[in-house]
Amino acid sequence: MAVVLGTNAGFVTVAPVADPFGSSFGVDGSARAHKHTTPAGLDKISEIGWYKNNVSNVGDYELGLYAHVVGTDLPGALLHSTVATTSGNAAGWLTQAVDWEVIPETIYWLAVQVDNVSGSINLDYTATGNRDSIDTGLAALPNPWVNAAASTRILAIYAVAEASIIFSELSGTISAVSNAVAGISANIQLAAVTAGVSSAVAFLSVTTRVSGSVGASSGATAFLSVATPLVGSVSGVSIATGNLGLPVSLAGSLTATSSATGRLRVTQRTQRTIGFYERTANQITTYFQGIADTNSFVVRFDNDPRDTPADDVWYLASVDFGVANQHELGTTTSFRVVGNFSVRSQNITGAGIGVLLENSDTITAAFRAINVDRIIFGIPRINNTGRIGDNFQINITCPFMIDKQPA
């Protein structure tokens, strides 16, 4: 046997148990990582481990998962890690149970770090077939990965990948009939006709978009749960209790009928009126997101809970409204509102400003003297803010005006 990706290294579906009988080198006093792509449909890691080749020597180790940096083809930010654990003096697979979310078909780096010991603690590997990297002189996994040293090894570090939810697309007609329990669960898009019929319990659960008609009928309890937008007609019929719960928006017709209790619960308003300022901000940010998608910009808007890249260019965008002045004399309710769309671009210091300036040209050209759904933009300006902490920052300001028409 050897160290093989998908078998006893990288992402696997079954944890390895046998000695890989690979080559080995000392790993203590350093961190080692190698990259692999998560399999399609698998979005969770339940176990991670590595193969300790030699006996006698004992040291603390940590295991971790790193993001992939496309430009350098190296690990980036530390996404998850285990607590420091003592290896013991025996050779074999050292494993940790985890519950880490991953994205299917995405490159990650699996890493192990071992404290420095008297002697050596070895890790198995195969010399070619992958890409690995080393970070030395460490007492814990670094965040982010800082060393650019790389080679072509496959390391005996694995992670068991699983599907936390089974995703499938349903199309056509689906029915479940039973004298006891009938259950239908659809985790993604559902199309055409779906029916669940039972003399006891009929349960239909749809966690994403439903298109077409949906029916649930039972002699006891009929329950329909829709977690995201629903389009078309919905009916729940029962001689005992009919319960329809909708956590989000509903479009189309809705009916609940019961000879005992019929209850309709909508926990979010079916339709919400969007005001002038919100609509204007949405129009601007949607336009900018299209520019960002075309140019592969990483964008975060105000109050965005997602993390920002630690070692790459990213943009913070916000819409700032100024004063509103009466647009016409008299009793008219038409007003002219001015404001600025601000984009703060930044990158780590030492990376140069060429990319920031090039991307700033792209953004200013996209907003220069244009009309976006009645929002008129003027001439953008660029301000070289300079170093802010560990980042270099350039700000782009795009002035705009829009007339608020009478209601």
CATH number of the domain at 10-162, please?
2.60.120
Report the greatest alpha carbon distance in the chain.
Answer: 92
Q: 133 with 103: CB under 8 angstroms?
A: no
Question: Does residue 285 sit in helix, strand or coil?
Answer: helix
* pLDDT per residue as tens digits for the range 245-273: 444 444 455 454 444 444 444 444 445 67
Task: Return the half-sphere exposure (C-beta side, CA atoms, 13 A cut-off) of residue 76.
Answer: 15
Residue 166 has pLDDT above 50, yes or no: no
- Per-residue pLDDT averaged across 84-95, rounded? 92
Return phi, psi of residue 311, to 5°: -140, 35
Q: pLDDT band at 214, cuts 50/70/90?
A: low
Give the pLDDT of residue 82. Answer: 96
Q: pLDDT band at 275, cuts 50/70/90?
A: confident
Higher pLDDT, 327 or 299: 299
Give the pLDDT of residue 149. Answer: 82
Question: Does residue 266 sit in helix, strand or coil?
Answer: strand
Phi-psi region of 55 (alpha: psi -120 to 50; beta: other; left: phi over 0): beta
* pLDDT per residue as tens digits for the range 31-88: 999 999 999 999 999 999 999 988 778 999 999 999 999 989 999 999 999 999 999 8
* pLDDT per residue as tens digits for the range 221-248: 444 444 444 455 555 444 444 444 444 4
Question: Does residue 24 sit in helix, strand or coil?
Answer: strand
Give the pLDDT of residue 329. Answer: 66
Give the pLDDT of residue 327. Answer: 66
Question: Does residue 277 sit in helix, strand or coil?
Answer: helix
Residue 325 has pLDDT above 50, yes or no: yes
Average predicted confidence (pLDDT) for the chain: 78
The structural domains of the chain, with segments of one domain joined by +, span 10-162, 174-266, 276-404
Task: Return the half-sphere exposure (C-beta side, CA atoms, 13 A cut-off) of residue 330.
Answer: 3
Which tokens in the block code for residue 164? 């936390």
Q: What percent of the chain has pLDDT over 90?
A: 50
Higher pLDDT, 285 or 388: 285
Return phi, psi of residue 376, to 5°: -100, 120
Give the domain 276-404 fold: STM4215-like (3.30.2000)
Give the pLDDT of residue 199. Answer: 42
* pLDDT per residue as tens digits for the range 96-151: 999 999 999 999 999 999 998 888 899 999 999 999 999 888 889 999 998 778 99
Q: 227 with 249: CB under 8 angstroms?
A: no
Question: Does residue 287 sit in helix, strand or coil?
Answer: helix
Residue 276 has pLDDT above 90, yes or no: no
* pLDDT per residue as tens digits for the range 342-391: 999 988 878 788 889 999 999 999 999 999 989 999 999 999 888 888 88
Most confident of 189-193, 214-218, 340-344: 340-344
Give the pLDDT of residue 242. Answer: 42
Q: Enumerate the β-bridge partners of residue 155.
A: 125
End-to-end CA distance of the chain: 75
